[in-house]
Amino acid sequence: MKKRIGILTSGGDCPGLNAAIRGVAKASYGMFDCEIIGIKDGFKGLIHNNYQVMTPKDFAGLLVRGGTIFGTSRTPYKKMRKIEIDGIDKVKNMKENYAKMELDCLITLGGNGTHKNANLLREEGLNVIALPKTIDNDIWGTDVTFGFHSAVDIATEVIDRIHTTADSHDRVMLVELMGHKAGWLTLYAGIAGGADVILIPEIPYSTDKVLDSLDKRHSSGKNFSILAVSEGAVTTKESKMKKKEFKKERAKMKHSSVSYRLAHEINEELGLETRVTIPGHQQRGGTPSPYDRILATKLGAYAAELIANRDYGKTISIVNKKLWATPLEEVAGKLKLVDKDNILISTGRLINTSFGD
């Protein structure tokens, strides 16, 4: 009996989504008789019954292609059960459209929000399998997510290129990288790029300690410094604030980001010429790295195995280089943050990298 498999991509795009889609498709076509349904623009497509019946030819050439052929959107978990001004019952619609599409299984590719939505659908009785995608690498239960290493490559290249202009102009350069809650990307790229200061959300920083480390570098004859800063980095004072107080404090901030605020403080206190670079969505774009192509393909192919075995309600994790089918309820709603005892933190401290604490 032919299986009908729905696939959607949700949340922010990143390198490797198409490679994972291809992995699911090629393995499924090879293992059992199936038809693949491409659902447009994430959960929005499932809510509004917007989809396309795919053919094997549609999956050719996807391995190196960035972005996602199905399109994506953000549908926050906290709004899934809310009926808003349009009057649409999102959960009801998704269940009905799953049935209309005659799906045997739904594959969701995405990050933390996607996993929460996937688990919601599992609780509603749908057959769901999730694949862990995010450049933040913050999905609980897996050592790595696809998209992360590609973003590390891009962020590291930015830092590498900044080194030459910083050295040429005797400047302090801040590179602000993505990561609101988790600092994996900034930590990896900072170590790989030789940043002198690395600031991540998990380690609140003291402005005075950052200034002190920069002052010591420049006093010792070093004519430039590089700071890798997570967009979610916070000061020790901010880390002690309640959520509402923190938002109020940030709303009063004169500068557009924490990096610009810190750059201003460095310039004012130390008199050092300081610049900020924000690569932004470049970190999400372009072709996936070979590592991510391989990882995404493995995860996609393993998803097809789970479908063949009717092993639903799982997300695919990679732990100690082995693939695991982890129950969605164990992952949904949890974040994998950088532990202060992480080996890269201790390595950074050994080579005199400042974490501002």
Domains of the chain: which residue ranges? Answer: 3-146+288-331, 151-284
Q: Are 64 and 14 in contact (CB under 8 A)?
A: no
Residue type, 114: T
pLDDT, position 1: 82
pLDDT, position 162: 92
Helices 184-192 + 343-350 axis angle, to 10? 40
pLDDT, position 72: 94
Residues of the chain with pLDDT under 50: none
Q: Are 97 and 144 in contact (CB under 8 A)?
A: no
pLDDT, position 245: 86
Domain pair 3-146+288-331 / 151-284, same fold: yes
pLDDT, position 149: 97
What is the per-residue pLDDT across 302-324, written as a single tens digit (0 to 9) for each? 999 999 999 999 999 999 999 99
The CATH architecture to which 151-284 belongs is 3-Layer(aba) Sandwich (3.40)
Tokens found for residue 173: 């350069």
How is domain 3-146+288-331 classified at the CATH fold level? Rossmann fold (3.40.50)
245 CA to centre of own chain = 27
pLDDT, position 243: 86
pLDDT, position 249: 80
- In DSSP terms, 38 is beta-bridged to 7, 52
341 is catalytic: no
Residue type, 331: V
Catalytic residue among 136, 138, 153, 292: 136
